[in-house]
Amino acid sequence: MDSINWHSFFFLLFGLLASAFAVGVVVASSVVRMALYLIVALAATAGLFFLAGADFVGAMQIMIYVGGTLVLLVFGVMLTAQGPFVSMKTGGGDWLLASLVAGALLALLIPVAFSVPDWRGGEPAPAVMEPTATPIGVGLLGVRVDKLDADRPESLKPGMSSYLLPFEIVSMHLLVVLVGAAYLARTKRRRSPSQIES
Amino acid sequence: MNLLTEPVGVAHFMVVGAIMFACGVVCMAVKRNALGVLMGIELVLNGANINFVALGSKFLQKDGAFSLGLDGQFIALFVIVLAAAEAAVALAITLNFYNNHSTVDVDRANELKG
Amino acid sequence: MPGLGSLRNNTLVAEFFSQYMWSWAAYLLTGLIHCALLIQVGAVGALFFIWAERKVSGRIQDRLGPTRVGGMFGWLQSLADGIKLITKEDLMPDGADGLLFRIAPYISFCASFAALMALPFSDGWVAIPINTGVFFILAVLGLEVFGVILGGYASASKWSLFGAMREAAQVVSYEVPLGMCVVVPVLITGTMDLVQIGTFQEGWFTNWLILHDPFTFIIFWVYFTCALASVNRAPFDLAEAESELVAGFHTEYSGIRWSYFFMAEYGSMFAVSGLATILFFGGWNGPVPITGWLGLTHETGPIAGYIGNFLGLVNFVGKTSLFVIVMIWVRWTLPRLRIDQVMKMCLKFCVPIAAVMFLGATFWQRQFPGGVLLKTSYGDRYVVTEADTAAPAKSKDSAKPAAKTAGEASPGQPSADKTASVSHRVTKGS
Amino acid sequence: MDLDVLLPKLLCIAWLLPLASFTLIVFFGPRMGKKGILASYVAAGAIVTSFILSLIAFVSWIGANGVAAPGGHHGDEHAAVSPLPVDASNSPSPMRLASLADTHAADSHGHDEHAVHEVHKPVAYTGTWYTLGQFGDLKITISYYIDALTVCMFTMVTLIASCIHFYAIGYMHDELHDITDTQVLVTKGYRGHGHGHAGHGHGAHDAHAHAHDDAEHDDHGHGHSDLPPPPAGYDYLHRPGRFHRFFQYLSLFCFSMLGLVIAGNIAMVFVFWELVGVCSYFLIGFYIERKSASNAANKAFIVNRVGDFGMIIGLMALWGSLGTFAFGDVDGQQGLFSQVRNSAHNYELRTPDGMVLQAASDEIARGVEPTAKQIETWRSEKLGYWLLVIAGLGIFCGCVGKSAQFPLHVWLPDAMEGPTPVSALVHSATMVAAGVYLVGRFYPMFTPEVLLVIAYIGLITLFIAATIAITASDIKRVLAYSTVSQLGYMMLALGIGGWSAGLFHLITHAFFKSLLFMCSGSVIHACHTNDMFRMGGLRKKMPWTAYTMLAGCLAIIGTPLFSGFYSKDAIVAQAVMFTKQNPAHGILLYGFAGGAAMTAFYMFRLWYMTFSGKPRDHHVYDHAHESPKVMYVPLVILSVFAVSVGWTMPFFGLSLTNLLEQARPAGEIGTGVLLPALSYPAEYLSHAPSVHLIATLIASATAAGGFLLATLFYGVHKLDAADVKRQFNPIYYFLVHKWYFDELYNFIFIKPLFFVSSIISKIDKNLIDVFIDKLAVGVKALSRVDDAIDRYVVDGFVNVIGNWTYSAGRSLKAVQTGKLRQYVMFIVVGTVALTVIMQWALAAE
């Protein structure tokens, strides 16, 4: 027996976890359970990111997705968690239809994934893991360390831009979104009694 | 191939991504709870993210002819951040919807029916 | 094992074991050893700190605290309590969501335990050396609240639900200033690797980052406040405010599940205190460089290095415990805040102060890249070697200062060094 | 700091400060303090700071260049400044064109008697601040040309302007609140075009307001307690005060004037020339609701435009042939002066190569090679000389307009419609001085022929204006004509080669004329009338004004020891020398002397009628009062200067003439080319004691004669003016009607213009309008057709499409279920289907 490839082993572990809990999200009827499963699925995805060598993105996944997004979701659950809304049943026809469509989607996507020979794996990959936090951080500030010109190390390859502008846009976007969300979700002023009478 | 003994490739990651994507789609399609739909969106985005990261990874392809390089991670980062923003807005919309209709059933939100 | 280069140290240990058994078993064994050690930190630490809490609170309230169990000072009191908890009947309310109710304490405990995985206890003594360690600890600690929320929700009790909601609001809010505070040491050291941050402060206590500049000094106190809030300690313990919510989110819990929550709380207290120690108080580097004087470094030899590391561990745990005890002291001294005061504290004070300090530290770093008090040795230590700087086309006279700044901006491991110095050069050039 | 760095900086700041003040007031004027009172402080502060800066520049100039006139022209009077051995061609720019004794040139060309005197190039700092644009070789720049003249002018302008700013704070006080203008009648119920409408609107005229133009030219329309009731059906105009606007214009004016003075090229001069004209227009028309004021403003502007037309011709002649506008050499490029008079030829006037080539362009086109030798040949054939004459005459044309010389002098007296501080600043001290200044600045370019024209124009002007002034009854008009006359003096002086004499008189005149105007303003302020026949005996009521005005009068008539004496003396001396050398033009001296006598006569007529004797109108007399301190303190300051500005400072040896000598253009005027008989004496020759003695005698005698006559008529009433008036009735009316100039122009220009325009209007109405009408009818018919097409074809088409879209929308409506989950399904199914179809399609390929 060949020795176990631990990378593949952990991939299988995390992949199965992610898939299983993603299915769990679909199947679960309680919103809170859905949230729990989603967390596990997302955390497993973070594990997949680590396996793919994207440690910074993985950490971000945990920090923002799992930490931030889901706390927000749970927040919403708490605010709307009153008896009848926790679970709402859907008709069997809907389920059937959705499954068919999803099946078609999978049938489309999975062959596509295997259609490129290079993507099928099987060859041992380079072993050294490089930290990605610094290149990503510098890249967000406008310099792509990984795209340096071999001839002139002080400059980028022609046409290789970086992500300073998207970064700024996303920052502004986040700010606007937070303000907008706060505005949307604010407590509505109750109508005064006099208005109700009239 | 024996997945336990041979190195995995991009395709395997993409399969996981596809499964999450499909689950997300089903989730959006069958959940009547607005929060369920939201979670479906998160799953869909996450499935896409897996593809980006996998295509940018150095460990999964030998020569990297189709590799996105660090760009994959950048895109994934932006997706994560935008997903957070989207979740915040969607939650706010949901809360507003709840305030107006006293429910989070998306089937009841059909006032824009043609 | 390709791709898991971050588990390098463990790989060494595992390879040692794998001479005697199957490799997978060797890896498993390695992992188990680490886990066992870390759980000891959680469990034994909890025992000690609970005892310390009782003693401290006793002294503060002008009484003696536990005195009997275990002889002097009642130092076995916590153990006795633990045994009692384990043997207690495990209750679950009727309307509870069984799965979530059961799983919630584990989630909390796992989160605080996972945070300890990335915490270095001495130079290089860390379970998993992640080069985004700071980030990882923050992210994982943020997950602890999830268990609390699930527990509160699953209990089907309005007290629990209220407690959980309060906690969610509080923790989500305080993560923002906490993150900002943590960014400042990262900014100064140029790395998120906790080991490197610790090594950065080697030498005298003047090298500690809290004394690096006025902004770090102020931001430490903001960090400490936010840390208190994010681990739900008094005066921010609204999630378990007895006077209002019975016992908050763990009202319905008892027995061993309750004790998991308890351990999670003390575990995360230890984690944030340890983080504070590393980020601001030199980690395992003492106020006085005794290990250096005694020659207990890796340069002298592996045994001496091991002893030095052990002294560092003692140093680290001592400082961390000191912070935990300060937390205890705060708890029994200050009254609990109202929820609106908690929020106001975060949004109106902590966030702006942290933001301003962050800006200030940025400018300080720009103006005095070496800090002001930091004078001693680290400057030479991180000079990039000639091989790193000679390769790119750069004039000879400018190579030296560039190397120095690059070294200060990003000290540390050789593999990261090259990237860092290159990136620095690019930033200057563009 | 070196002077070549310091001076441009100082003067630039001094120049731009009023602009800053103007900008501030434009934007924030009405909000500056109560009713804009702060605007005056801003403007005054700016100009005072400018003055201080100019003074620093003045002092540092003296510190660097000494107080003595350069060269040995003055024999033993002044020690000659040792010339600095700096080679002008090598020195960097902005270069210090040192007093260069070009002895080599003098030796090699030592053919005439002047060559024994060293020829100096004046010290001047040139440079460029900003290049606006470059067209071929021509650079349009903001540049500077700073020499002693510039510095003196700067100090003089800012000093007088400062005094006038302070004076105006008091004088314009009424504008701080709403004003009832008794000179403007509006129909009852008219409320004006809204308060505070910007710019010079046509408010009152539009509303059929009638200018109530009686003999009284009252600057002050504000209500007295004893307002005569307005005629039935009319109201007096009631309008908000415009205090800040006044100071805004003053600031802009100061900026423009200083820019004109510091300008380093003739194009920049022209720009500021126009700006000055615009300011003058604004200020004359300050009381825009009065028809007379608005007419006067228009008149001033249009008459100036006539002169500017000539100036543009001159500019074109210069640009077309010489390719540069700059006065001095900048960045190694030869300026105008160097092209006309260069050191290689001992600074003698030579037709510049460019003009020669321009004039010889026909021959060049025919293939004659323009070699250096050929150019010399052409030059000796006087080719291009006419171009130089035309350029000079053109530039002088502009000066004629601006300095109100005959025949364009008609606007200046009417300009007295503006507030009195404006009259003092704009129409006596500075703006009208701009013309004289430009003649002085442009002096090296003028050929003897042009100078002769200048001299005669000056003579005619001074004579006409002096005669009119004798009969004028309006106190300000007397002064206005006096100004015109004095400007004539200056032009005359410049025209007969008295360069420093003319400019010296320009500066002394600026002081005493602004003093006189401000005194008259003070009187008007007190009496609320301009009419001298209603004044009298005011000396007791307003002593400060009376005696400062007396000082001004003494100065203007050239009483010994007063400043006017020195300048007039210099002019007379030059005139004596000139007529000695050119007996044919003796009239220049006699006309001059006659003018001087008339000056003395009308000035003292004015003073006596105003201040001495018995009050003629008791109503006016009772109201009269001394002006406030803010008004008479500037008077005192100015009177000090009016007396002393011509003196040579004891111990220092500092005198204005010496300073001006430092800026004297290099080279002699020489003899005329077209008029060979004409030859100009060098100015230093007139400093000979023998000439001076004659000059002093002439000047003093004429002045004394005029003064005595005035005293006889108006001081002691030995002779009755009315008798004389009766006796010379036709002449009197001829003079009262200002030589019928306005009527003449009316007949020659305006009437024909109206005639021509009426014909054109008829053509327009009967031919063009009819054609357009017919065209319109045709278009109307065409549009009917078009309308039908639009209605039935285009609209029908659009309607059909619209109906299709509508029905399609109705049938597709059902798809829009409003259910979120179905939409998700649609998206996914669509994506899958699209992919499948595409794959199928690609595979089919």
Is residue C235 reached through a cis peptide bond, with omega within 30 degrees of 0 on the bond before it? yes
Name residue D265's beta-bridge partners: D326
A101 contacts on D by Cβ (under 8 Å): 825, 828-829, 832
Q: Cα C14 vs. chain centroid, distance in angstroms?
A: 26
Which whole-number Å values give the CA distances from B60 to B20, C82, C258, D127, in the listed order? 20, 48, 44, 70
Query: What are the C-alpha distances in Å from D535 to residues C211, D213, D226, D473?
Result: 88, 20, 19, 11
Distance CA D156, CA D145 (A): 17
pLDDT of D782? 94
Q: With a cut of 50, say whether residue A136 has pLDDT above it.
A: yes
Q: What angle do CA D467, D471, D477 make, to 5 degrees?
A: 90
Statement to judge: residues C159 and C290 lie in one domain: yes
Q: Can the peptide bond before residue D230 be classed as cis, meaning omega within 30 degrees of 0?
A: no
Which of D387, D391, D401 is CA-nearest to residue D313?
D391
Give residue limits of the domains in chain D: 178-239, 496-664+682-719, 741-820
Q: Alpha-carbon distance D194 to D201, whole Å?
A: 11
Task: Name residues whose C-beta falls within 8 Å of residue D177's C-beta, 6 or more positions apart in sequence.
Answer: D35, D241
Mode of pairing for the β-strands spanning D124-135 and D234-239: unpaired
Cα D430 from Cα D424, distance rounded (Å): 9
Model confidence over C151-202: pLDDT tens digits?
887 887 778 887 887 887 788 788 888 888 998 888 888 788 888 888 888 7
Residue D694: predicted pLDDT: 82
- Do C294 and C225 fall within a single domain? yes
SS3 of residue D754 by DSSP: helix
D153: buried, middle or exposed (CB in 10 Å: 19+, 13-18, 0-12)?
buried
* Alpha-carbon C155 to chain mean position: 30
Chains A and B: 3 or more CB pairs within 8 Å of each other: yes
DSSP symbol at D560: T
* Helical pair D148-171 and D431-441, crossing angle rounded to 10 deg: 180
Q: What ipTM does this complex have?
A: 0.71
- Residue D21's contacts (CB-CB under 8 Å, 6 or more residues apart) are D42, D43, D45, D46, D47, D247, D251
Q: Do A32 and C171 touch (CB under 8 A)?
A: no
| Cα D705 to Cα D602: distance, rounded to the nearest angstrom | 12
Assigned token pair, D302: 């249009």
Query: What does the pLDDT read at residue C417?
Result: 40
Find the CB nearest B28 among D812, D816, D824: D824
d(C-alpha C3, C-alpha B13), whole Å: 15
> What number is the average pLDDT over the span A39-47?
88
Question: Given C339, C367, C395, which residue is the final one in a domain?
Answer: C367
Q: What is the CA radius of gyration of chain D?
A: 34
- How far apart, in whole angstroms, are the C-alpha atoms of residue A37 and residue C146? 12
Phi, psi for A89 (deg, rounded to 5): -80, 145
* Residue C305, domain extent: 88-367
Rounded distance, CA C310 to CA C33, Å?
A: 18
State residue C286's pLDDT score.
76
Using the beta-carbon criterion (under 8 Å), do D828 and A102 form an inter-chain contact? yes
Q: Which of C5, C139, C392 sits opposite A128 (nearest CB)?
A: C5
Q: Which of D22, D158, D14, D47 is nearest to D514 (CA)?
A: D158
Between the alpha carbon of residue D720 and those of residues B105, D116, D629, D708, the distances in Å are: 114, 57, 37, 14
Is the CB of D837 inside 8 Å of chain A's CB atoms? no
Please give the structure tokens belonging to residue D182. Answer: 């008794």
| Half-sphere exposure in the Cβ direction for D675 (13 Å, CA) | 16
CA–CA distances in Å: residue D582 to residues B35, D348, D575, D588: 111, 20, 10, 10
Q: Shortest CA distance to D499 belongs to which of D577, D561, D560, D422?
A: D577
Q: Where are the domains of chain B?
A: 10-103
Q: Which two structure tokens, joined as six digits, stand for A140?
A: 């967000």
Residue carrying the six token digits 């999978």: A106
pLDDT, mean of each 10-residue run, chain D (845 residues): 79 89 84 77 89 89 75 42 38 37 39 48 82 77 87 88 85 77 69 44 40 41 52 73 84 90 88 89 84 86 88 87 81 78 76 79 78 78 82 89 84 82 78 86 85 89 87 84 88 86 88 86 80 79 85 86 84 85 82 86 86 78 77 83 79 74 76 77 76 83 86 78 77 78 82 90 91 94 93 92 93 81 85 87 83
DSSP single-letter state for residue C94 = T
* pLDDT tier at A150, thresholds 50, 70, 90: low
Nearest CA distance, C3 vs chain B (angstrom): 7
Partner residue opposite A62 with nearest CB, options C103, C131, C139: C139
| Chain B closest-CA separation from residue A128 CA (Å) | 9
Distance CA C115, CA C57 (A): 27
pLDDT per position as a tens digit, C23-59: 777 778 878 887 888 888 777 888 888 888 888 888 8
Across the interface, whether the CB atoms of C392 and A133 are under 8 A apart is answered: no
Mean of pLDDT values over C64-83: 78
Which of the pair, D9 or C251, is modelled with greater confidence? D9
Are B91 and A73 in contact by the 8 Å Cβ rule? The answer is yes
pTM: 0.51
pLDDT single digits (tens) D188-236: 665 544 444 444 444 444 333 444 433 344 444 444 445 566 666 677 7
Residue numbers of C between 17 and 46 with CB closer than 8 Å to A: 23-24, 27
What residues have CB less than 8 Å from D782, skipping those under 6 apart?
Answer: none
Interface B–D counts its CB contacts (< 8 A) at 40
Does the pLDDT value for residue C429 go beyond 60? no
Report the C-alpha gap between A161 and D676 in whole angstroms. 79
Query: Which amino acid, D30?
Result: P
Any CB–CB contact under 8 A between A135 and chain B? yes
Quote the pLDDT of residue B65.
61
Neighbours of C165 (CB within 10 A): 21
- For the packed helices C158-189 and C351-367, what is the interaxial angle rounded to 10 degrees? 10
Answer whether residue C108 is part of any domain.
yes
pLDDT at D92: 39
Q: Would you call D829 exposed, middle or buried from its count of C-beta atoms within 10 A (0-12, 13-18, 19+)?
A: middle
D818: left (phi over 0), alpha (psi -120 to 50) or beta: left
CA D334 to chain centre: 28
Domain count, chain C: 2
Q: Is D833 on the interface with A (CB under 8 A)?
A: no
pLDDT for residue D523: 85
Whether the per-residue pLDDT at C216 is higher than 90: the answer is no
> What's the pLDDT score for residue A129?
66
Supply the mean pLDDT for chain A: 76
Q: Give the pLDDT of residue D808.
A: 92
Residue A74 has pLDDT above 70, yes or no: no
Task: Specify the 3-state DSSP secondary structure of D210.
Answer: strand
Cα four-point dihedral sign D212, D217, D219, D224:
negative
- Alpha-carbon distance of C319 to C200, in angstroms, equals 17
Phi-psi region of D33 (alpha: psi -120 to 50; beta: other; left: phi over 0): left
Element housing D273 (H / E): helix D266-284
pLDDT of residue D175: 77
B88 touches chain C (CB under 8 A): no
Q: Please name the residues in contact with C385: beta carbons below 8 A apart, sequence gap of 6 or more.
A: none
The per-residue pLDDT for range B26-76, each reduced to its tens digit, is: 888 888 888 888 888 889 999 999 999 888 887 777 665 667 778 888 889
Q: Enumerate domains of chain A plus CATH numbers.
A: 1-86 (1.20.120.1200), 130-186 (no CATH)
Burial of C106 (0-12, 13-18, 19+ CB in 10 A): middle
Taking the domain B10-103, which CATH number applies? 1.10.287.3510
Q: Is C339 on the interface with A (CB under 8 A)?
A: no
Establish how many alpha carbons lie within 13 A of residue C132's alpha carbon, considering only the half-sphere containing its beta carbon: 25
The owner of tokens 């103006």 is C367
Q: Do C132 and A55 touch (CB under 8 A)?
A: yes
Tokens of D166: 């302070």
What is the arithmetic mean of pLDDT over C98-127?
83
**Distance between CA atoms of C182 and A63, rounded to whole angstroms?**
14
Question: How far is residue D420's CA from residue D71's CA, in Å, rounded to a whole number?
Answer: 43
A145 interaction partners in chain C (CB closer than 8 Å) = 419, 422-423, 426
pLDDT at B99 over 70: yes
Give strand pairing partners of D140. D133
Check CB contact under 8 Å for B84 and A15.
no
Sequence-ordered list of residues with C-beta below 8 angstroms from that of A177, at least 6 positions apart, any chain: B85, B86, B88, B89
